[in-house]
Amino acid sequence: MFRWLCSCLLVLSSALLSAPLGADEPLRIIAFGAHPDDCDIRSGGVAAKWAAMGHKVRFVSVTNGDAGHHEQGGGQLAMRRRAEAIEAGRRIGVDYVVLDNHDGELLPTLEIRQQIIRQIREWKADLVLAPRPNDYHPDHRYTGVLLQDAAFMVTVPNVVSDVPSLRKNPVFMYFEDGFQKPAPFRPDVAIPIDDVIDKKIDALDAHVSQVYEWLPWHDGILDQVPKDPVARKAWLKKQRTPALSPAIREAIAKWYGADVAAKTVNAEAFEICEYGARPDDAMLRKLFPFAPR
């Protein structure tokens, strides 16, 4: 019985995977980060581009960020970070949700998997972004695991049955990271974001407790943060302009050509997750409709 059920689910799943995206409807993208700034850091530029085109983007922080500071903590910090996240989302045209799970204590539990399934279903997502499950921070790691655990279940009606299941399995993709084991990040899609980098920095600038307080304190460079709001935003931009890897330039060249790839300073890249729908290049072009045809 169980094997029969599983094979039926697989047949159903492969039928769902082939459903096309509506041509005229806005795309619906949902990104998950462990903390209320993770999505912005990894996909704030692309999100600003989607939003400017009328597509719908939601960022979800799986924890409330209540451990991310050296002088504050608990409910007061969680409230501060929620307000920062909502302001960051407003600056790039993104809806921001902060789930009320403790920072620094995230585990891949059934309860939190169900929270994630609800979010993906309620957003009726075409594309889901999340970290890979290999990362220095356990909250990042388990956010990756939770998304993998949700990737098929969003299509199963008897799971989290109070929210209608999706008839079309979304595409799941990972944010870029620098971790090499068990496998380095593979940029299946890389999008130049030089045209929106100031917007992205503006979104990050809203996370005052993080970018100007906690992270510089943790890195031992708090004394380098300028006091003046304009000067500190310029400092932040410098901090957030890492060198692009050869693999990312190659991925940019695939759709934008070698000239654009050579000139690009800022980009965001994504790797296809093996779970959820498996997109071909045509589907990827629909989901990332930025490159010239």
d(CA 148, CA 134): 12
Query: Which residues are bridge partners to 30 per DSSP?
Result: 58, 128
For Zn ion, the closer CB: 34 or 197: 34
Identify the CA nearest to 78 among candidates 87, 88, 69, 89.
69
**Binding span for Zn ion by CB under 5 A among 36-44, 143-151, 203-211, 232-240:** 36-44
Q: How far is the CB of 197 from Zn ion (least distance, A)?
A: 21
Residue 125: how many other CB atoms lie within 10 Å? 25
**Binding span for Zn ion by CB under 5 A among 37-45, 106-114, 156-164, 183-191:** 37-45
d(CA 64, CA 75): 9
Residue 143: how many other CB atoms lie within 10 Å? 29
- Check if the beta carbon of residue 131 is closer than 8 Å to that of residue 38: yes
- Check if the beta carbon of residue 52 is closer than 8 Å to that of residue 93: yes
Q: How far is the CB of 14 from Zn ion (least distance, A)?
A: 35
Name the amino acid, one letter, at 251.
Answer: A
From 31, 32, 35, 256, residue interacting with Zn ion (rule: CB under 5 A) = 35
Q: Which residue, judged by CB position, is nearest to Zn ion in the bound state?
A: 35
Q: How far is the CB of 66 from Zn ion (least distance, A)?
A: 13
Q: How far is the CB of 34 from Zn ion (least distance, A)?
A: 5
**Binding span for Zn ion by CB under 5 A among 29-37, 170-178, 186-194, 221-229:** 29-37
d(CA 34, CA 149): 15
Q: How far is the CB of 62 from Zn ion (least distance, A)?
A: 10
- Contact between 38 and Zn ion by CB under 5 A: the answer reads yes
**Binding span for Zn ion by CB under 5 A among 27-35, 176-184, 209-217, 238-246:** 27-35
For Zn ion, the closer CB: 38 or 271: 38
For Zn ion, the closer CB: 35 or 200: 35
Q: How far is the CB of 228 from Zn ion (least distance, A)?
A: 27
Q: How far is the CB of 139 from Zn ion (least distance, A)?
A: 6
Count of residues that bind Zn ion according to CB under 5 A: 3
- Check if the beta carbon of residue 101 is closer than 8 Å to that of residue 109: no
Residue 12: how many other CB atoms lie within 10 Å? 15
Q: How far apart, in Å, are the Cα atoms of 255 and each of 143, 189, 190, 272? A: 30, 9, 9, 16
DSSP at 214? I
Indicate the pairing of strand 189-192 with strand 171-175. Answer: unpaired
**Binding span for Zn ion by CB under 5 A among 35-43, 161-169, 174-182, 184-192:** 35-43
Quick note: the x/- pattern for Zn ion over 246-265, rule CB under 5 A, is --------------------
Positions touching Zn ion (CB under 5 A) are: 34-35, 38
